[in-house]
Amino acid sequence: MTDISRLLTHMEERQEDLLDLVKTLVSYETPAPPARNTAEIQAFIASYLEKAGYEIDSWDVYPGDPNVVATKKGTDSAGYHSLILNGHVDTAEVEGSEWKTNPYRAEIENGWIQGRGTADMKGGLAGALFVIRMFHELEIELPGDLMLQSVIGEEVGEAGTLACCRRGYTADYALVVDTSDLHIQGQGGVITGWITIKSPDTFHDAMRRNMIHAGGAVKGASAIEKMMVIIQGLQTLERQWAVEKSYPGLPAGANTINPAVIEGGRHAAFIADECRLWVTVHFYPDETHESAAAEVEEHIRNVALGDPWLRHHPPEFIWGGTSMIEERGEIFPSLSVDREHPGTKLLAQAFEKTAGEKAVLDVSPTVTDGGWLGEAGIPTAIFGPGTLANAHAVNERLSIEQLVTYTNTLAVYVYEWLHSEKKKEE
């Protein structure tokens, strides 16, 4: 019996352990926001991997939110390919929603496992941990290096994965085991920004008549009303992007500009002298967050030039950020998957072997940490169980059949990729 046959047989016999592992991860309450609550689950994951013979590196990205990177060197690191498996332990929040069951006590019903994080993405992370443990239990040696990155902050743009990249972790290929419905995916990107309009003058509400009627002799404007001009300008640009831009695998108009939050004014006795708009900009995989922000800014500055008041009081811009909680801003770089890369081809073949159907290579309509790995120069794909319809949803759930297909695919892929020799030119 081959190593892969032994591995798949052993995994089938241990399926209950896989489901128990999902339940265990779900039982740790790690919603973000509020975040700063992942120390216990990360300690569990570190211990789990240490028992499988992995070297552990753990550090606080924020107090109470540590990253864990576990590494096992291969028997011939120089000659064989290496791999990163990446996943985040934080989940969407549950407040304000009515669940049929306790969201942190996963339950199985009619072929599904239900609980917060099952689809996004504790199911995918549990599968990766389970595969690693199965290799260890069967004493299957791998020539290439294998690394698991268990990171924090993805739900609120805190980029625990970026912290791993900055710490120097790299590999010949990376899989982000996030929600993809078992598709092999790239992604567009996201950048948020604040557009601010400020008036140098502050007026009592009773002065509004003088500001808006002929002969009033007050040169002023409401910052809230002028923000309406900016929003209309954003809508014009959004529609223009939908006409002019496209990307294979994404529906037309996926590059949206969302006016997500507006803040302005002092109180009802004042003319608003400041207004701030928080926007979310989606861009395509062949664009960068810098170029997307620059296009928006250039367009809005031109819009301001066409308004008599904004021309002399142009809007101010602040782009990005490292945390939706700390800075109220985030960046998710886009990710293009190289279909011709041997790591991508091998993943598609592994899926076809285990699932008995052709692999789907497309583009995620949402974002993951995969863009940070790609931006660091690591060939990367998103591949995990779960659907976006279930991610973040009330009564979030994951198909057990899909979870098993995913773990089988991952096991075959890890074995074959880490047994594939590096070419000399690499």
| pLDDT exceeds cutoff 70 at 118 | yes
CA dist 56 and 421 (Å) reads 26
> Which sign, positive or negative, has the C-alpha torsion 156, 160, 161, 163?
positive
Percentage with pLDDT > 70 across the chain? 98
> 36: alpha, beta or left, given left = phi > 0 and alpha = psi -120 to 50?
left
Contact 421, 350 (CB under 8 A): no
Residues of the chain with CATH 3.40.630.10: 3-187+335-418
| pLDDT exceeds cutoff 80 at 210 | no
Q: What is the pLDDT of residues 274-314, one digit of tens each?
A: 999 999 999 999 999 999 999 999 999 999 999 999 999 99
Give me the active site residues, please.
90, 154
CA dist 250 and 255 (Å) reads 9
Residues of the chain with CATH 3.30.70.360: 189-319
| pLDDT exceeds cutoff 60 at 76 | yes
pTM of the model as a whole: 0.94
Task: Work out the average pLDDT over 373-392.
Answer: 97
What pLDDT, on a 0 to 100 scale, did the predictor assign at position 220? 75
Task: Work out the average pLDDT over 331-344.
Answer: 97
Which uninterrupted H or E stretch holds 422?
none
CA dist 133 and 118 (Å) reads 20
Q: Residue 419 CA to chain centroid, in angstroms?
A: 29
DSSP 8-state symbol, 30: -
For residue 62, what are its two tokens? 């924020």
CA dist 342 and 363 (Å) reads 19
CA dist 27 and 47 (Å) reads 17
DSSP 8-state symbol, 205: G
Coil vs helix vs strand at 226:
helix
Q: What is the pLDDT of residues 1-60, one digit of tens each?
A: 799 999 999 999 999 999 999 999 999 999 999 999 999 999 999 999 999 999 999 999
Q: Give me the chain's average pLDDT, please.
A: 95
For residue 272, what are its two tokens? 């608003």
What pLDDT, on a 0 to 100 scale, did the predictor assign at position 212? 74
For residue 300, what are its two tokens? 């809005």
What residue has token string 């569990």? Answer: 44
CATH architecture of structural domain 189-319: 2-Layer Sandwich (3.30)
What pLDDT, on a 0 to 100 scale, did the predictor assign at position 95? 81
Coil vs helix vs strand at 192:
strand
Q: What is the pLDDT of residues 144-163, one digit of tens each?
A: 999 999 999 999 999 899 99
Class of domain 3-187+335-418: alpha beta
